[in-house]
Chain A
Amino acid sequence: MRRTILMLASVVCLIVLGAVMITRGISAQNVADSVYFPYPPGVIPPDLVPEIDRVNREVKLIEAEALAQWHALPINSGTAMRQVQILGKLELFDKNLSVNKNQACSFCHMPYAGFSGPIPSVNLTTVAYPGSSHFRFGKRKPQSYTYSPFFPVLQYNKAQANFYGGNFWDARATGFQLQSPDAEQAQDPLRDPLEMGMPDSACIVRRLSLSAYRKLFETVWGPQAFVITWPADVDQICSTPAGAAVFGGNPNPVSLSPVDRGRSNATFGQYALAVTAYEGSPDVSAFSSKFDAFLAGKKTLTANEMAGYNLFRGKGNCNSCHLDGRSTTLTPGQTDDGTAADVAPKFTDTTSSNLGLPKNPADPFYYETTPDSFGFTPNPAGFAFTDLGVGLFLRNLSGTTPNSDWAPLAPAFDGFMQVATARNVDMRPKCPNGKTFPKAYMHNGYLKSLKEVVHFYNTRDVYPFDVESGHCPAGTKEKVNCWPAPEVPQTKDMTIGKLGLTPTEEDQIVAFMKTLTDGFTTPYPDSNTFTGSCP
């Protein structure tokens, strides 16, 4: 009897032990599966996780500041503009608008970096930033928010045979519906599987309805904004990353009535308009640089900066695209009286062009060829993927083109990327250790300093080598006297490539571009929130 009891007890113990081990094993397997990591050693910077935490702490501080700004604001018609701007700020610094409630829009766009990438090690390596679903990475450098609201609705100008306006490197945020490319841009990363990863635009509306600033949203846009009958599974759906196999490609997995869907869409549009109200406000697009003071006749440029300015609009050809608002170049004997044709130049003509940049093999996107635990494969083509920019968009391969008449134009725009504003290209925080905060430039972040940018424009066709990045011949140095082959050679813009600038002239253009950093005439909001260090 006793032996039987012991045997039974042993069996029970073994079963329990087995069950525990199996359960723990599955659990461990789940943890491993939930982190997508198809990258070989050396691709992802080792300090990525602590740096994500650091930026999230900074985001939280600015979010708290925005909440305080809202609570301190008297709500009346005289503060209506400020209300919508603060609402936009709250939205941009709200990490709950991402699928895993762990990433705000501003995670990739912090004020101290000119509203671009805030992590030094990422800027120096992957350039693209990890999304809410760890660790899916996007494929391009985060663009700056500054002055993005000043881009017009995308239009094909037949006289110039070029596209003007739009937002994003590939101009896919056309502004066709909200009549604001910047607002439509603000809608995109929230739903991008590689970024904030929401599976349905209704999920953003759902999270807004649960936010701490819902009341402000309703004050600005009206009490109807969240009068939506949500299905019981809405929060479960909204916690599953976009692109998951379970959705079967359905872009609207949250089941809503047609009327509720329409209301959700309208509220999502209002969300976006508030974002652009903030981005177009002096909090972000401040026109407070030394150059603005110069245009106002309140400050003179140094001899070096002035020489750089004259090169920028003359020999360097920079203002062929980065318009400076001036109409003429000084000729010998003339003096600059500070008069400008445009007292608030944006330093972009809002077109796009193919500068002939090489592929950046450090981009983690090239390694994302296998499915993650949700059955989503970010980049099935791997290294064969060619970033055609505007051409990609016109082929409906990034976003959906709202004008099918543009489709035949795609080959002529292969490799074209939007002409970014030259304003704030040097906005960066002061590092506690005295080093320079590194930034990345161009759509794929291949260039790492303004000097490299100008040197590339100056010598791209002086030191061309038919190699990929990392394979310059012995005796040459990449980015100094070796430029690898363009990713998209056939449409390469030839305005640049051999400008004949001396090293001193390159430095002078850099000196001028540094005068375009906001915060000179008045302090730039939230520019002192960097708490990291620089390598």
Chain B
Amino acid sequence: MQVAPRRRCVFCSVKRPCGRHMSRLLLFVIAVSVSILIFSVQTASQERPAGKKAARMRIIKGPALESATDKSAIIRWTTNTGSSLIEHSVVHYGTDPKNLNRRAESPNRWNQNLHYMTHRVSVMNLAPRTTYYYTVESVRGDGTPLGGRSNTISQFTTRQQQ
């Protein structure tokens, strides 16, 4: 890194430019800035009061099949945050990927101590050995959308009848 010549080095008081020391100073400033930035992001997510507007919810893991039987399945995904203390996680599903006309939802609680939220939905009354396609989102208990909607259509297959 090029540093403009200076008359006096501020670190060692030598009366000539001091490029080596200036480089260290700049690296130190960059490191401190990045640290403060990271710390402030962490602090903000930890100390967000319940009533304050949460960060925009987005999926960071999943959705994926957690488990399945011949007539039920559990879909699981993780978002970067929750939006409401009590959310209803929703799976829109169907046997035709172009027509996800069925809906399952389950209440999930947002533990604000965690820097993420796990969503799990129990999907019931399914047919055995059938492939279902689905998307997910999160809503309040009254149906108000909270975000965290998946952009792609996923799929799972139920087990053979037991």
Interface residues of A (CB under 8 A from B): 158-162, 313-314, 317, 319-321, 326-329, 331, 349, 351, 353-354, 412, 461, 464, 466, 489-495, 497-498
With A328-B47, A351-B86 as known contacts, state yes or no: A160 contacts B106, CB within 8 Å: no
| Distance, CA A313 to CA B86, complexed state (A) | 16
Binds A, one of B3-11, B18-26, B92-100, B120-128: B120-128
Q: List residues of B (119-143) whose CB comes within 8 Å of A's CBs.
A: 119-122, 124, 140-142
The one of A160, A317, A354 in contact with B85, judged by C-beta atoms closer than 8 angstroms, is A160
| Distance, CA A327 to CA B112, complexed state (A) | 8
Contacts of B120 in A (CB 8 A): 461, 494-495, 497-498
Range class of the B interface residue count: 20 to 34
Tell me whether B89 is interfacial, beta carbon within 8 Å.
yes
Tell me whether chain A's interface is mostly helix, strand or loop, or mixed.
loop
Tell me whether B150 is interfacial, beta carbon within 8 Å.
no
Contacts of B121 in A (CB 8 A): 494
| Distance, CA A489 to CA B111, complexed state (A) | 23
Binds A, one of B28-36, B66-74, B151-159: B66-74
With A161-B86, A161-B142 as known contacts, state yes or no: A492 contacts B106, CB within 8 Å: yes
Interchain CB contact under 8 A, A320 and B42: no
Contacts of B88 in A (CB 8 A): 161
Contacts of A489 in B (CB 8 A): 122, 124
Given contacts A160-B84, A162-B86, A329-B114, 16 further A-B pairs with CB under 8 A are: A159-B84, A160-B85, A160-B140, A314-B113, A317-B109, A320-B111, A327-B46, A351-B86, A412-B141, A489-B122, A492-B106, A492-B122, A493-B108, A493-B109, A494-B89, A494-B108
Taking the nearest CB of chain A, how far is it from the CB of B68, in angstroms? 11
The one of B109, B140, B142 in contact with A321, judged by C-beta atoms closer than 8 angstroms, is B109
Instruction: Please name the residue on chain A nearest to B66 by beta carbon.
Output: A498
8 smallest beta-carbon distances between A and B, as pairs: A161-B141, A320-B109, A494-B120, A329-B113, A494-B106, A495-B109, A320-B111, A161-B142
Contacts of A317 in B (CB 8 A): 109, 111, 114
Interchain CB contact under 8 A, A491 and B109: no
Interchain CB contact under 8 A, A495 and B142: no
| Distance, CA A220 to CA B49, complexed state (A) | 43
| Distance, CA A9 to CA B40, complexed state (A) | 109
With A329-B113, A351-B86, A466-B69 as known contacts, state yes or no: A495 contacts B107, CB within 8 Å: yes
Q: What are 6 pairs between A and B in contact, CB < 8 Å?
A: A158-B142, A161-B140, A313-B113, A320-B109, A331-B42, A493-B107
Instruction: Please name the residue on chain A nearest to B49 by beta carbon.
Output: A327
With A161-B86, A498-B120 as known contacts, state yes or no: A328 contacts B109, CB within 8 Å: no
Interface centre among B66, B111, B142 (most CB of A within 10 A): B111
| Distance, CA A79 to CA B89, complexed state (A) | 53
Report the number of A-B residue pairs with Cβ-Cβ less than 8 Å: 85
With A160-B140, A313-B113, A490-B124 as known contacts, state yes or no: A495 contacts B66, CB within 8 Å: no
| Distance, CA A160 to CA B42, complexed state (A) | 26
With A328-B46, A494-B89 as known contacts, state yes or no: A319 contacts B141, CB within 8 Å: no
| Distance, CA A412 to CA B142, complexed state (A) | 10
Interchain CB contact under 8 A, B114 and A493: no
Interface residues of B (CB under 8 A from A): 42, 46-47, 66-67, 69, 74, 84-86, 88-89, 106-114, 118-122, 124, 140-142
Interchain CB contact under 8 A, A314 and B122: no
Instruction: Please name the residue on chain B nearest to A495 by beta carbon.
Output: B109
Taking the nearest CB of chain B, how far is it from the CB of A309, in angstroms? 11
The one of B67, B69, B108, B112 in contact with A495, judged by C-beta atoms closer than 8 angstroms, is B108
Interchain CB contact under 8 A, B67 and A461: yes
Contacts of A327 in B (CB 8 A): 46-47, 112-113
Contacts of B89 in A (CB 8 A): 494
Taking the nearest CB of chain B, how far is it from the CB of A325, in angstroms? 12
Interface centre among B67, B85, B119 (most CB of A within 10 A): B85
Contacts of B85 in A (CB 8 A): 160, 320, 349
Taking the nearest CB of chain B, how far is it from the CB of A127, in angstroms? 25
Interchain CB contact under 8 A, B108 and A319: no
Contacts of B108 in A (CB 8 A): 493-495
Contacts of A412 in B (CB 8 A): 141
Contacts of A159 in B (CB 8 A): 84, 140
Interface centre among B88, B118, B120 (most CB of A within 10 A): B120
Contacts of A328 in B (CB 8 A): 46-47, 113
Interface centre among A161, A314, A489, A494 (most CB of B within 10 A): A494
| Distance, CA A455 to CA B131, complexed state (A) | 32
Contacts of B141 in A (CB 8 A): 160-162, 412
Contacts of A162 in B (CB 8 A): 86, 141
| Distance, CA A495 to CA B122, complexed state (A) | 11
| Distance, CA A349 to CA B89, complexed state (A) | 20
Taking the nearest CB of chain B, how far is it from the CB of A396, in angstroms? 21
| Distance, CA A160 to CA B141, complexed state (A) | 7
| Distance, CA A489 to CA B46, complexed state (A) | 34
Interchain CB contact under 8 A, B122 and A494: yes
| Distance, CA A313 to CA B106, complexed state (A) | 22
Interface centre among A159, A314, A327, A495 (most CB of B within 10 A): A495
| Distance, CA A251 to CA B67, complexed state (A) | 51
With A162-B141, A351-B86 as known contacts, state yes or no: A319 contacts B111, CB within 8 Å: yes
| Distance, CA A494 to CA B75, complexed state (A) | 10
| Distance, CA A327 to CA B113, complexed state (A) | 7
| Distance, CA A497 to CA B9, complexed state (A) | 64
| Distance, CA A492 to CA B88, complexed state (A) | 11
Contacts of B114 in A (CB 8 A): 314, 317, 329
Instruction: Please name the residue on chain B nearest to A315 by beta carbon.
Output: B114
| Distance, CA A351 to CA B107, complexed state (A) | 13
| Distance, CA A328 to CA B112, complexed state (A) | 8
Contacts of B119 in A (CB 8 A): 494
Taking the nearest CB of chain B, how far is it from the CB of A219, in angstroms? 44
The one of A349, A494, A498 in contact with B107, judged by C-beta atoms closer than 8 angstroms, is A494
Instruction: Please name the residue on chain A nearest to B121 by beta carbon.
Output: A494
With A493-B108, A494-B120 as known contacts, state yes or no: A461 contacts B140, CB within 8 Å: no
| Distance, CA A159 to CA B42, complexed state (A) | 26
